[in-house]
């Protein structure tokens, strides 16, 4: 588990050596201009040479202001690194709330290129900032540094002036490209109490010192400037590796080296301490009172008349009623593949015939209300968007919402993107451990969605091997949960059923004579397939080599790195079982069977087994089991996972050898 350590108890022992770094901006060194490769990461397309961020408070009359001073130098090393000349600055700008305005000042960016032995500079100013509003709270300022190519050195400088004194933006030491040198200095008045945390004290060299903030209490004050002691937090990073995409991490920034600061309270001039922290209840109230969100929750749906005509409201079983209503929604509207936060007006979505997941989810909440079911939004951040913090709430941290329906002492969860699944079967991107059920009157609650479903596959095979070396038989497969959703999606994506069966035959390395399919087009709990198949065994003289397992979930080990620095995140829980009854031909005898193997993690979060039992002289019973009971594994369990997957992958490929008598 990633450890967060309070900076306020840190005392760095190591001295910081920055003499070799060019900390002066406006004139890159010859070494930086002529640099062609970053030695610590020779494959890097670009590198952050220097990133300096200072955060300073000032006091104006009776209020605090914050200035973020940022200086950043990037070297583009390869042609495909020029995309890093496209940057953005995200900041708060909400004119409808007090202390919610930030603005970019003193912006300039410069590209330095060597041409004919001379340095050519290309500059841009604030007029080249393109601003777009993300939501009511945040604005994104985009810019592109011109003349960027392999060999270019880019420098960016700006100040972010803020009256949002109670919120300090997270600082990330790591980026998508390696960082040669980075320094962060945060100075906070002692009257403001913050909880400051660093995510990796082993790599970042951090110190805490004392400083002073001088100020004049008012414009009419003729006395000498006053001062407030400050806590100065300094973190330095050298040669930090790039945050590269990883197949088993949804959002690498969740595990980046960073510093966060959460305000806890204010020590007032009267000596009293006032708690000053945003609570999720405030976010709840903001949404419930919002015109695009809360005020729409009790609207009638645009399909009210059709719901009444189909008499869905008369269905007594709540799961059946929810499923039937959802099927009507999908018959009217299509999900456009987008996960969004703010739903468009229902009339606009209906006219278009499609919409984002929240466009459809809001209409679905209204449809459920029309049939007598009270449904609510469940707020979350998708796994690809990043983990949702419970401690410092912000609308910006949310990325979408799904639908929750109370069902006695439990809940039913569903999303418009779940058309291939069923109730409580969500796409893997939505299985987050922190989601918030939004309810009125302070009734909101947190819920963990990681274990509401699993990918369950159960296979039963009866087969026989002919003297000619052909293994044939019948395979019955039952899918449920995410396994059923995956099978429906594969069927939907195929051009037709023949193409779907052809793909399955290729995966099985067999010929399929018949395939009976159930539930592939339905919104239902299960999918079932009954397959008649045949496949040829390898023969050599008087020996025959049989691979008994038709479908196996782990054919190769995906964990090949020697060591790992990040946790391992799986898409969903898994439960896979296969039983094979195999008859060998008369006149043949077993010479070699598959070795029995069981592997189980100490905490039971992952297990697997391969068993082979000789029933009689001409019959075998084989079992393959795999169970994944957790979605996230810390990096200290990497060696165990690697070993377990290696064992299952290798043993599943073993063959049964029979010999002619």
For residues 192 and 214, what is the distance between their CA atoms, to the nearest angstrom? Answer: 15
> pLDDT digit string (tens) for 244-269?
888 899 999 999 999 999 888 888 77
Task: With cut-offs at 50, 70 and 90, classify the pLDDT of residue 97.
Answer: confident
For residues 133 and 168, what is the distance between their CA atoms, to the nearest angstrom? Answer: 20
Axis-axis angle for helices 497-508, 482-493 (nearest 10):
120
> pLDDT digit string (tens) for 472-521?
999 999 999 999 999 999 999 999 999 999 999 999 999 999 999 999 99
**Are residues 392 and 264 in contact, defined by beta-carbon separation less than 8 angstroms?**
no
Domains and CATH numbers, the chain: 5-275 (2.60.40.3140), 281-447 (3.10.620.30), 454-660 (2.60.120.1130)
The DSSP bridge pattern shows strands 46-60 and 63-76 to be antiparallel
Tokens (6 digits) for 270: 């009267």
> pLDDT digit string (tens) for 327-377?
999 999 999 999 999 999 999 999 999 999 999 999 999 999 999 999 999
For residues 391 and 397, what is the distance between their CA atoms, to the nearest angstrom? Answer: 12
Task: With cut-offs at 50, 70 and 90, classify the pLDDT of residue 199.
Answer: confident
568 Cβ contact partners less than 8 Å away, ≥ 6 residues apart: 248, 249, 559, 632, 633, 635, 637, 638, 641
**Region 206-230 average pLDDT:** 78
DSSP bridge pairs for 437: 378, 445
Q: Which residue has the higher pLDDT, 615 or 369?
A: 369
Q: What is the mean pLDDT of the chain?
A: 90
pTM greater than 0.95 (yes/no): no
Residue count of the chain, please give it: 661
């Amino acid at each position: 588990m990633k450890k967060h350590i309070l900076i306020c108890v840190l005392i760095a022992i190591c001295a910081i050596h920055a003499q070799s770094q060019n900390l002066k901006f406006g004139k890159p060194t010859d070494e930086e201009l002529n640099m062609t490769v970053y030695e610590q990461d020779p494959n890097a397309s670009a590198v952050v040479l220097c990133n300096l961020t200072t955060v300073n408070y000032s006091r104006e009359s009776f209020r605090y202001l914050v200035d973020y001073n940022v200086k950043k130098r990037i070297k583009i090393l390869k042609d495909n690194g020029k995309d890093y000349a496209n940057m953005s600055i995200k900041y708060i700008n909400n004119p409808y709330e007090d202390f919610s305005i930030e603005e970019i000042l003193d912006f300039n960016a410069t590209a330095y290129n060597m041409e004919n032995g001379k340095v050519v500079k290309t500059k841009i100013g604030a007029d080249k900032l393109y601003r777009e509003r993300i939501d009511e709270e945040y604005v994104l300022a985009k810019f592109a540094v011109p003349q960027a190519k392999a060999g270019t050195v880019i420098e960016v400088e700006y100040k972010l002036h803020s009256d949002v004194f109670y919120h300090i933006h997270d600082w990330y030491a790591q980026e998508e490209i390696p960082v040669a040198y980075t320094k962060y200095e945060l100075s906070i008045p002692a009257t403001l109490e913050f909880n400051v945390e660093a995510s990796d004290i082993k790599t970042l060299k951090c110190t805490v010192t004392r400083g002073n903030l001088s100020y004049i209490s008012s414009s009419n004050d003729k006395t000498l400037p006053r001062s407030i002691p400050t806590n100065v937090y300094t973190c330095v990073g050298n040669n930090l590796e790039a945050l590269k995409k990883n197949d088993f991490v949804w959002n690498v920034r969740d595990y980046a080296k960073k510093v966060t600061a959460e305000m806890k309270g204010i020590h007032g001039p009267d000596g009293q301490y006032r708690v000053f922290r945003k609570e999720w209840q405030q976010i709840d109230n903001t949404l419930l009172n919002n015109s695009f969100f809360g005020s729409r929750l009790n609207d009638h749906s645009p399909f009210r008349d059709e719901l009444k005509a189909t008499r869905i409201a008369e269905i007594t079983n709540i799961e059946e009623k929810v499923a039937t209503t959802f099927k009507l929604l999908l018959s009217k509207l299509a999900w456009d593949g987008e996960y969004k936060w703010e739903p468009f007006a229902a009339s606009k979505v209906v006219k278009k015939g499609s919409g984002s997941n929240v466009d459809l989810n809001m209409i679905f909440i209204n449809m459920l209300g029309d049939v007598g079911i009270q449904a609510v939004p469940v707020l979350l951040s998708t796994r690809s968007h990043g983990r949702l913090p419970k401690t410092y709430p912000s609308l910006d941290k949310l990325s979408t919402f799904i639908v929750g329906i109370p069902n006695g002492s439990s809940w039913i969860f569903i999303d418009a993107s779940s058309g291939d699944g069923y109730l409580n079967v969500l796409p893997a991107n939505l299985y987050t451990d922190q989601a918030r059920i939004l309810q009125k009157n302070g009734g909101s609650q947190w819920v963990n969605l990681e274990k509401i479903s699993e990918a369950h596959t159960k296979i039963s095979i009866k087969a026989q091997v002919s003297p000619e070396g052909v293994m044939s038989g019948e395979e019955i497969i039952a899918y449920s949960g995410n396994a059923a959703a995956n099978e429906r999606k594969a069927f939907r994506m195929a051009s037709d059923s023949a193409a779907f069966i052809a793909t399955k035959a290729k995966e099985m390395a067999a010929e399929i004579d018949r395939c009976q399919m159930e539930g592939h087009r339905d919104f239902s709990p299960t999918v079932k397939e009954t397959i008649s198949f045949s496949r040829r065994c390898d023969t050599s003289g008087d020996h025959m080599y049989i691979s008994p397992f038709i479908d196996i979930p782990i054919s190769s080990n995906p964990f090949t790195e020697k060591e790992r620095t990040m946790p391992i995140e799986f898409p969903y829980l898994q439960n896979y079982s296969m039983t094979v009854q195999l008859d060998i031909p008369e006149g043949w005898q077993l010479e070699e069977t598959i070795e029995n193997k069981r592997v189980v993690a100490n905490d039971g979060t992952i297990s697997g087994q391969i068993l082979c039992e000789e029933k009689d002289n001409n019959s075998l019973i084989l079992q393959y089991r795999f169970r994944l009971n957790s979605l996230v594994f810390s990096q200290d369990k990497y060696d165990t996972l690697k070993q377990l997957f290696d064992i299952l992958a290798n043993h599943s490929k073993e063959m049964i050898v029979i010999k002619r008598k």
